[in-house]
């Protein structure tokens, strides 16, 4: 895309990682801002910042040190004032942000569900999506949550580590290294790859990660100017739902090695929530289903997190 240089310096500097998914999300936030304010293309500068996490490809994320690895350099740029906003997948954000930073808004949430990806051209079976997997099938994922839920539903499956960017993962399914993988439908869709979703897993028996499908905008706490500019693009319902989920996760967050799912859905007055914690091998799972008034959404999320924590054996939290 060609773009004439702006006459004026940009009004906002937006930071993002450089992966195709991150860039799509950053451009979605930029485009929403341009549209809401009637700005010229150059008014929001997109700055690509490489993070420590981008360099790690060979180990499970949880082993390498967790979610913060994908946000650290962006957060430093935000604190230093080199950028005004950082755009992330809400799912990839640690529950505790660095001092002085907040999640200032979210784009309207996309489909929250996970999809089963089979080799290109292979048709799924009718019926339950997981019925497409033959006994003992080798399924690749780097997500403890997906692994545990898969094994809970299908103890026969051979679940193994599959990391790398989306193209790498799809390649390892197409070349037969794996029989299938699971990916967020939202990520596939953002990259124009929704046709690779062979079947979509219903949230009734497969819970997404906290924040899945939502694009989060991180800002400096107390930056009223940026907050005012974000207000017209931020989706309130998404913000409430993800706040509930993140409050729940923050109460539970003993270890990033614990498989945890959670989904909040809000209507005009009610928040409905389901959460699940599993043993990594799927042999035990703990679930809560709750609802409450929207006005207390975040406090409810914390409450449900503590309730869940009381239900689950302490050993599951990495103790």
Ligand X SMILES: NCc1[nH]cc(CCC(=O)O)c1CC(=O)O
Contact between 214 and 109 (Cβ < 8 Å): yes
CB closer to ligand X, 186 vs 316:
186
Identify residues 199-228 at the interface with ligand X (CB under 6 A): 212-213
Torsion of CA 117, 118, 119, 124, to 10 degrees: -130
CB closer to ligand X, 187 vs 259:
187
CB closer to ligand X, 210 vs 230:
210
CB closer to ligand X, 117 vs 312:
117
Contact between 118 and 180 (Cβ < 8 Å): yes
Q: CB of residue 171 vs ligand X: minimum separation in angstroms?
A: 15
Q: Which stretch binds ligand X (CB under 6 A): 27-35, 179-187, 192-200, 237-245?
A: 179-187
CB closer to ligand X, 197 vs 312:
197
The residue number whose beta carbon is nearest to ligand X equals 187
Q: Which stretch binds ligand X (CB under 6 A): 77-85, 180-188, 195-203, 298-306?
A: 180-188
CB closer to ligand X, 91 vs 151:
91
Q: Which stretch binds ligand X (CB under 6 A): 78-86, 178-186, 220-228, 301-309?
A: 178-186
C-alpha closest to that of 287 among 271, 311, 268, 269? 311
C-alpha closest to that of 168 among 149, 185, 181, 151? 181
297-311 vs 236-252: helix axis angle to the nearest 10? 30
List all residues 6 or more positions away from 216 whose beta carbon is below 8 Å from its beta carbon. 87, 88, 89, 90, 93, 103, 105, 106, 242
- Residue from 78, 94, 150, 186 touching ligand X (CB under 6 A): that is 186
Identify residues 72-101 at the interface with ligand X (CB under 6 A): 89, 91-92
Any contact of residue 184 with ligand X (CB under 6 A)?
yes
Q: CB of residue 191 vs ligand X: minimum separation in angstroms?
A: 9
Q: CB of residue 239 vs ligand X: minimum separation in angstroms?
A: 15
Active site includes 31? Answer: no
Any contact of residue 187 with ligand X (CB under 6 A)?
yes
Q: Which stretch binds ligand X (CB under 6 A): 117-125, 182-190, 281-289, 307-315?
A: 182-190
Catalytic residue from among 54, 84, 92, 175:
92
Identify residues 29-48 at the interface with ligand X (CB under 6 A): none
Any contact of residue 259 with ligand X (CB under 6 A)?
no
Question: Which residues are designated catalytic?
Answer: 92
Q: Which residues contact ligand X (rule: CB under 6 A)?
A: 89, 91-92, 183-184, 186-187, 212-213
């Amino acid at each position: 895309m060609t773009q004439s240089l702006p006459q004026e310096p940009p009004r906002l500097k937006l930071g993002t990682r450089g992966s195709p998914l991150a860039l799509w999300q950053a451009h979605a936030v930029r485009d929403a801002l341009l549209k809401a304010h009637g700005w010229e293309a150059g008014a929001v500068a997109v700055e690509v910042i490489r993070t420590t996490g981008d360099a790690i490809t060979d180990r499970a994320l949880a082993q390498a040190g967790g979610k913060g690895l994908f946000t650290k350099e962006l957060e430093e740029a935000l604190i230093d004032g080199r950028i005004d906003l950082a755009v992330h997948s809400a799912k990839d954000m640690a529950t505790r942000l660095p001092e002085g930073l907040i999640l200032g808004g979210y784009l309207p949430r996309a489909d929250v569900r996970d999809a089963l990806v089979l080799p290109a051209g292979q048709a799924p079976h009718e019926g339950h999506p997981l019925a497409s997997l033959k006994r003992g099938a080798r399924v690749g994922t780097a997500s403890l949550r997906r692994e545990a839920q898969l094994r809970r539903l299908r103890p026969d499956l051979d679940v193994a580590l599959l990391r790398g960017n989306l193209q790498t993962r799809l390649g390892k399914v197409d070349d037969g290294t794996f029989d299938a993988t699971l990916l967020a439908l939202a990520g596939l869709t953002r990259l124009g790859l929704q046709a690779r979703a062979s079947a979509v897993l219903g949230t009734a028996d497969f819970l997404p990660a906290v924040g899945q499908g939502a694009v989060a905008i991180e800002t400096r706490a107390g930056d009223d100017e940026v907050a005012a500019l974000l207000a017209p693009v931020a989706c309130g319902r998404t913000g409430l739902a993800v706040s509930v989920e993140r409050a729940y996760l923050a109460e539970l967050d003993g270890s990033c090695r614990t498989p945890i799912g959670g989904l909040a859905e809000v209507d005009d007055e009610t928040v409905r929530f389901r959460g699940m914690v599993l043993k990594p091998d799927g042999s035990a799972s703990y679930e809560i289903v709750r609802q409450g008034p929207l006005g207390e959404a975040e406090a409810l999320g914390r409450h449900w997190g503590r309730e869940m924590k009381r239900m689950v054996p302490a050993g599951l939290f990495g103790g």
